[in-house]
Amino acid sequence: MYAAQHLIKNSVMESTQKTYASAWKKWNVFMQVCHHNPTTAFIHCAESTQQQVVHLLLMFVAYCLDALGQQPPTIPKILSGLRHCFRARFINDSAFDDTLLTSMKAGVSRLPYTPRTRLPCTFDMVQHVVYKNTRAGSSKQHFVKAVAVSMAYYLCLRSSEYVSRTSTPRPEAHQFDSQSVEFQLGGRLVSSHLMPRFHWNQIELVKFTLQHAKNIKGGYGVPIWFAVNGLEQDALMFLQLVFLWAQMSLRNRDDPFLSHRTAAGRLDCLTYKTFQATIKDCAVAFGFNPAWFNTHSVRMAAPTVLRAAGGTDREVLLLGRWKGVPTTLTYQGSSTANNNRMLQLLTNSTLFTSQDITLGRVLPPTKETKGSTVRRF
């Protein structure tokens, strides 16, 4: 059984494995609430009828909606993950095809719900966080937030790549570690935890390597680097902030980059909760409803600004490490600059002409047709 589970587990992406594990965890908690032993229930399927399993699955859906507060669109994904877990443990999964369960899933999909609203930050909002947390007298706890929002914006990061869900990061966390941020001095790269012995005027280049993100395979890190010379002031300030944090923070080589060790050796890590509050406070300062913004608003800001600046599809895809254009569009907001650029294109009569119609739409006669025809889309 273990070999089969191992084979199935390694046949899907790591992010999908986490989805399956989350579904199984919810099922285990539910079974404990129902006074069942989740580790042995239904292992011997002959002891349980299909209708009993269906009944428990129906109760499980209600439990997810009511007790766990899951949104209706997440229910099919949870059930799909749970079914995979049943199969991996050689538990009969035929109950998932039962008419009652299918009807309940269809009914749940029609339930009204309020979609989660996320809006992109602006560059001014990012700068507001930076300036607020780097003023004279700012502590390391403040300064690290300025570095985090800058890294998230310029590198288009997910929150899991720069903050921790827990005060002590989990081993499987996606965060940059100290070795994943490097500085070039005299033609050689030096890890960030060794920066206290160097000065900014020695830095030639800053390199970031994403090695732990959920869409990056182990050993296939994505490097991003910036040369210090030739950058405008705001962009240069981003690299200087990263260097200053590397210089002022005490870290081991495997510690998250956005962390600091106290004199007693305790690791003080920037948490998701802290950074989430920072973004929401910034939204309030700009007169917005804080419920519209979260940590992902910073990731959404970068492709929005790049697109408004005339960035190509390839540049936007590279920025966010996306595979397809439709995905990137969900992370981009509308802007006056982008709309005006499209408006200028629409007023250009040379972009689509009568000759284009003839060349691309009008087809010559065939044996079946005596006259020209128009190609259907």
CATH number of the domain enclosing 220: 3.90.15
Which structure tokens are listed for 115? Answer: 């979609």
User: What's residue 169's pLDDT?
Assistant: 76
Which residue, 80, 108, 136, sits at the end of a domain? 108
Indicate the angle between helix axes 123-132 and 296-308, nearest 10 degrees: 130
Per-residue pLDDT, 271: 92
Task: Note whether 268 and 128 are same-domain residues.
Answer: yes
Dihedral of the alpha carbons of 221, 23, 40, 8, in degrees to the nearest 10: -40
91 vs 24: CA distance, rounded Å = 13
Q: Kindly report which listed range (52-56, 268-272, 362-366) carries the lowest average pLDDT score.
A: 362-366
209 and 221 Cβ atoms separated by less than 8 Å: yes
Considering the domain architecture, whether residues 178 and 44 belong to the same structural domain is answered as no
Q: Which candidate, 77, 40, 47, 49, places its Cα nearest to that of 61?
A: 77
Query: pLDDT grade, residue 7 (50/70/90)?
Result: very low
355 falls within a domain: no
Domain boundary among 285, 316, 337: 285
> Is 14 part of a structural domain of the chain?
yes
263 and 191 in a common domain: yes
Whether the per-residue pLDDT at 1 is higher than 60: the answer is: no
Tell me, yes or no, whether 38 and 185 share the same domain: no
- 97 and 128 belong to one structural domain: no
Q: What is the CATH number of the domain that holds 41?
A: 1.10.150.130
Q: How many CA atoms lie within 13 A of 86 on its CB side?
A: 19
If asked whether residues 81 and 171 sit together in one domain, one would say: no
Show which of 285, 316, 349 is a domain's final residue: 285
What is the extent of the structural domain holding 205?
123-285
Instruction: With a cut of 70, say whether residue 38 has pLDDT above it.
Output: no
Which pLDDT score, from 0 to 100, does residue 43 have? 46
pLDDT at 283 over 80: yes
Is residue 292 situated within a structural domain?
A: no
Residue that wins the pLDDT comparison between 221 and 226: 226
Task: Look at residue 118 and tell me if it is in a domain.
Answer: no
Q: What is the mean pLDDT of residues 41-52?
A: 59
195 and 226 together in one domain: yes
Residue 102 has pLDDT above 80, yes or no: yes
**Number of folded domains that form the chain:** 2
For the full predicted model, state whether its pTM sits above 0.75.
no
Query: Has residue 314 been placed in a domain?
Result: no
